[in-house]
Amino acid sequence: MVFADLFFLYFFLPICLIMYFISKKTAYRNIVLVFFSLVFYAWGEPLCVFLLVFSAALDYTCGRIIDKHRDKLPAKLALAASLIINLGLLGYFKYSGFIVENINALLHTSIPIPKTAFPIGISFYTFQTISYTIDCYWGNVKVQKNFGKYLMYLSLFPQLVAGPIVRYSVVENEIDNRKTTLEDLSAGFSRIILGLSKKVIVANNLSTVVEALCGTAENGYAIMSGQSVAGSWLGVISVALWYYFDFSGYSDIAIGLGRIFGFKFNENFNYPFICRSITEFWQRWHISLGSFFRDYLFYLPIFGKRRQYVNLFLVWFCTGLWHGASWNFILWGLYYGLFILIEQKIGKKRMKKLPAAIAHLYTKIVIVVGFGIFYFENMGALGRFFKALVGANGGGFIDSKTKLLFMNNIWLILAAVVLSTPVIKKLKEVMNRKQGTYILANSMGVILNVALLLISSLLLVDTTNNVFLYWRF
């Protein structure tokens, strides 16, 4: 089941909300959330729901063992079991085929490639559940002694399949003590509509520009072979905007749903394209993933303090690999690791002294090229992409197809660029501060929400598949 779907919006969600709010006790509300979360996940993958429940049972048990035998051998074994089994399952379902393919290519063997169905959301809930056991071991959270409550945390449908990665410490108190105010309902529904609009109105339309200029991730080789310089840059800029509006749209819906149910999830995006350094970009983009690797991998003395740069590249290798079983993702991760290392060598003070125009030009070029690396999973297509960016593939500077696409989508692209900045947010803040405009601003907000919901719903009428991009990661 997907959020950008009329069935979810006008059937599943309303029934869930009715059942939730007619339940007066938090314990009953937790049961409602567990039931609807498992139905939500099982809707598309009925068998994989058992894997989710198994992961919940495993780490619930490991947490209890850690609590009972703190600082003793059984606690260490429980933590080790959690990490090995969870990462082992993730590795099997997500990377076994990739590993075998590369072994066959390197050693000229013919080992059968495993045909495993990839459980949606396993990358997200695996990180959530191992963060719980690590935090239990470190004493950062209290061990959950009720399996139903832990299952609710792990399976909570707003963030189950595409994040943000919600750590147990964020919702620990809200599992038993939460309430939903009128402000929560208003803010929650507004956030849901915002996220839905990002996906349906902006991201879906940007995807047509991307496919026209770059092809799909698989067939981009043929498209990029004769691409012009302008077409290549327009295409990859559209890729960057597409991924931003699609993924941040999902995060907005997840945060909005959580707010309605009384959970305050952390932000996952903070206008990343306004950054003035690559380090800042990753403090604003997919914040929950970056903070996970920072807290659970980067600061661990795996290679010692003298080899902190090895730690840095390990983190970015893992960041790339987390996104998919393909060499382009690994290259993408190391690419960002290299620029962050360069910025560390330059130093924060010197980076801040860069003129704003130069800082923005540098970061946007690095980010846009990075999205090209991320998009083209076929290494041949990736090579053609790099050539096309500098006009080394014989495609010329600009072509009639690019001109037509740009003119036909100029307002979409300009709107996407503007909306990726906090311009609207700043205008709203200014209106709310001025006397006599608060009621007007809120009234306009209600009208805008209704209009956006109506437009999004109409666009969904003839749409059969609105899967979010990060579902495949």
Interval 183-232: pLDDT, tens: 999 999 999 999 999 999 999 999 999 988 888 766 655 556 667 888 89
Q: Which is higher by pLDDT, 430 or 411? A: 411
pLDDT reading at 436 higher than 70: no
pLDDT in tens, 408-422: 999 999 999 999 999
What average pLDDT does the segment 49-60 reach?
94
Put simply, whether the predicted model's pTM sits higher than 0.85 gets the answer yes
> Angle at Cα 316 formed by Cα 312 and Cα 318, nearest 5°?
115
Question: Band of the pLDDT at 4, cuts 50, 70, 90?
Answer: confident
Query: What was the pLDDT predicted at 213?
Result: 87
**Catalytic pick from 69, 108, 323, 360?**
323
Query: What was the pLDDT predicted at 438?
Result: 64
| Rounded CA separation 395/177 (Å) | 61
Query: What was the pLDDT predicted at 303?
Result: 46
What average pLDDT does the segment 124-142 reach?
93
- Residue 286 a catalytic site member: no
pLDDT reading at 304 higher than 90: no
pLDDT reading at 248 higher than 60: yes
Of 151, 187, 162, 193, the closest CA to residue 263 belongs to: 187
Provide the mean pLDDT of the chain. Answer: 88
What average pLDDT does the segment 380-393 reach?
86
pLDDT > 70 in the chain, percent? 93
Query: What was the pLDDT predicted at 357?
Result: 93
| Rounded CA separation 253/189 (Å) | 9
